[in-house]
């Protein structure tokens, strides 16, 4: 699987490919949780399709909270991303990402069914410098 990647063009986020892990938590009424470790974002939906839509909205809101291009680069660096001239890359295997979720949320102690993971591609005109 390719790494998480955000393409930067003309001081804007041109597109993003993000690994998002989806899992079902029966203790929370069978909701589907969407988690992207690369950006430390998490949301949920009533089903997989709803969780995907909610994650896209969550990502858009994350982008809106960043005031400018330089702030975005600093935020990504703080999250462990490698920043290049035209892109930002977060290298972690999907197994690493799943294990981090299990560790962070003590998921092994509650009944959780893994639905899977998706690489979501998003093109967003955002802000410019």
Q: What is the pLDDT of residue 120?
A: 56
Overall average pLDDT of the 20-32 stretch: 77
Triad 123, 125, 129: Cα angle to 5°: 135
Q: What is the pLDDT of residue 105?
A: 63
Q: Tell me how far apart the alpha carbons of residues 19 and 71 are, in angstroms, rounded to a whole number.
A: 22
Name the average pLDDT for the chain: 75
Type and span of the H or E element at 78? helix 69-78
Residue ranges of the domains in the chain?
Answer: 4-121
Residue with tokens 């935020």: 75
pLDDT > 90 fraction of the chain, expressed in percent and rounded: 10
Q: Using one digit for the tens of pLDDT, what is the confidence trace for 43-66? A: 999 988 898 899 989 988 888 787
Q: Which of 50, 49, 15, 17 is nearest to 36 (CA)?
A: 17
Q: Using one digit for the tens of pLDDT, what is the confidence trace for 68-107? A: 777 888 888 998 889 888 888 888 766 676 677 677 766 5
Higher pLDDT, residue 35 or 126: 35
Concatenating the DSSP letter of every residue in 40-71 gives TEEEEESSHHHHHHHHHHHHHHHHHH--SHHH
């Amino acid at each position: 699987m390719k790494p998480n990647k955000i393409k930067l063009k003309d001081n804007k986020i041109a597109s993003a490919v993000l690994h998002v892990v989806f899992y079902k938590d029966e203790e929370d009424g069978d909701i589907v949780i969407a988690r992207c470790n690369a950006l430390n974002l998490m949301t949920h939906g009533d089903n997989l399709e709803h969780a995907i839509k909610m994650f896209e909205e969550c990502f858009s809101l994350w982008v809106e909270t960043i005031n400018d291009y330089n702030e975005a680069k600093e935020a990504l660096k703080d999250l462990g991303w490698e920043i290049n001239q035209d892109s930002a890359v977060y290298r972690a295997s999907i197994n690493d990402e799943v294990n981090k979720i299990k560790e962070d949320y003590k998921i092994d102690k509650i009944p959780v069914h893994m639905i899977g993971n998706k690489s979501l591609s998003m093109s967003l005109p955002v802000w410019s410098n």
